[in-house]
Chain A
């Protein structure tokens, strides 16, 4: 059974700092990996989707990488802003099943 782990569970940084969120998974036979953002009391907003054949995806200040062989993905946020404060979840998809990590709660202080 696929297990997804996100480290750290919480992170607090000053505005303007670059940061990295980590996601690891136990079964490397994934179809894709997706990073989401969740604001308190809200649904999940998709940030980046990486297909299994890809190694990274970029959108604005966000860059996500995927290393299937080591079972790892990272989400890099450049020049963080207070508006980036949210919980970030990664999820891996294979065999008609998507497994989620528990998330990293990010706080960016002005």
Chain B
């Protein structure tokens, strides 16, 4: 079955450490997105990519970086510059005729 796979499910980051969240899709979708979700809040857009080798900042891109070397993959790096990284991170891709498909998420915690 087609879908989006996010890994790991849980991730712990030490102060000053960079960590990378994986997002892989086999839906053949061109556009992929990263969102952050905090308790009681809606989803906020971090980065998105419409095509390979191109990506755009969302509303809260500071402290994050992405790459899009392959259509199937859109990894997100949470850098040490992100001072409050504890959150639930969701990756999505879109087919405009069928809407968004989301992965199961990665919960990142600073220890």
A43 contacts B42, CB within 8 Å? no
Asked if A91 lies at the interface with its beta carbon under 8 angstroms from chain B, I say yes
Return the chain B residue nearest A31 by Cβ: B96
B46 at the interface (CB under 8 A from A): no
Tell which of B14-22, B75-83, B100-108 binds the partner: B100-108
In the complex, how many angstroms separate the beta carbon of A25 from the nearest chain B beta carbon? 12
Do B104 and A102 touch (CB < 8 A)?
Answer: no
A20 interface contact, C-beta 8 A: no
Q: Specify the chain B residue showing the minimal Cβ separation from A32.
A: B99
Specify which chain B residues have a CB less than 8 angstroms from the CB of A43 in the assembled complex. 6, 90, 102-105
| B107 close to A41 (CB less than 8 A) | yes
B98 touches A102 (CB 8 A): no
**Contact partner of B102 among A44, A97, A102, CB < 8 A?**
A44
Q: Main secondary structure on chain B at its contact with chain A?
A: strand
- CB-contact partner of A98 in B33, B88, B98, B104, under 8 A: B33
Q: Would you call B2 an interface residue if the criterion is a C-beta within 8 Å of the partner chain's C-beta atoms?
A: no
- In the complex, are the beta carbons of A49 and B42 less than 8 A apart? no
Query: How many A residues touch the partner, as a band?
Result: 20 to 34
The A-contacting residues of B in range 34-77, CB under 8 angstroms, are 35, 40-43, 45, 48, 50
Query: 29 interchain pairs (CB within 8 A)?
Result: A31-B96, A32-B96, A41-B107, A42-B104, A43-B90, A43-B102, A43-B105, A44-B92, A44-B100, A45-B102, A46-B99, A46-B101, A46-B102, A49-B99, A89-B42, A91-B100, A93-B99, A93-B100, A96-B48, A96-B50, A97-B45, A98-B33, A98-B94, A100-B35, A100-B43, A101-B42, A102-B40, A102-B41, A102-B42
- In the bound assembly, the distance between CA atoms of A102 and B105 in angstroms comes to 17
Label chain A's interface by main secondary structure: strand
**Judging by beta carbons under 8 Å apart, are B105 and A98 in contact?**
no
What B residues does A63 contact at CB under 8 A? none
Within 8 Å of chain B (Cβ to Cβ): is A66?
A: no
Q: Write the chain B residue with the least CB distance to A46.
A: B99
**A4 on the B face (CB < 8 A):** yes
